[in-house]
Amino acid sequence: MTRKERNGKRKSRRINSRNPSLGYYLIVTDTNATERNYFMGLQNALPEGMRNKLIIHVEKAKKTDQLIKRCVELLSNDPQYRIPWIVFDRDQVTRFDNIIVDAKKRGIHVGWSNPCFEVWMYGYFGKIPQMVDSQECCRKFVEKYKQKTGQEYKKNDVNIYKRLTENGDEKEALNIARRNYENAIKNINGKPSDMHLCTTVYELVGEIVQKASAYKNKLI
């Protein structure tokens, strides 16, 4: 058999062949730290018997502009990735709105935060204060995080989700994010880049948390 014939019969490599009944969440971010640790913590916090039924898989794109491309590549390589998301921040991203529009056209969900992911996590500790930009947002979150947890905030902390849920209120975080988003939709032109102190990460987390609650109560 020639090399060409062997290559023709070679099956495409799948990253994961499991078929979880409650969903396989593919999350592509542009960072290696906070978002990955947060969502891996969320996965680990699921009820033990549920962890092979709902999978959260986090991948990284090299650049923000490659989030969609990387997500599409992973979807084509492995049909198990059925619920695609990209998660990224406003920060200084010039094509922020365009990336969101383009992703949705491709059937990819978007968990965006304006100005940064910390605005989502701040909600665990209550009302989000006024903050001008991502630098101030991160600075105020660092202060609040230490006040609430007694720990220094580190982006590479693998226990960040656990610390947030043990020292904060996840239900309140979901409610705050939802209210801020809905108020912004009513009062602003609807462009995410103009929706300061808003995030849609609550949609992704809320969906997973709702499934976890239903599983605990034996509803699914």
Sequence-ordered list of residues with C-beta below 8 angstroms from that of 42, at least 6 positions apart, any chain:
56, 161, 205, 208
Q: Return the pLDDT at 187.
A: 84
What share of the chain in percent tops pLDDT 70? 90
- Residues of the chain where predicted confidence (pLDDT) is lower than 70: 1-18, 79-81
Tens-digit pLDDT profile for residues 164-209: 999 999 999 999 999 999 999 988 777 999 999 999 999 999 999 9
Domain boundaries, the chain: 22-216
What share of the chain in percent tops pLDDT 90? 81
Mean pLDDT, the chain, whole residue set: 90
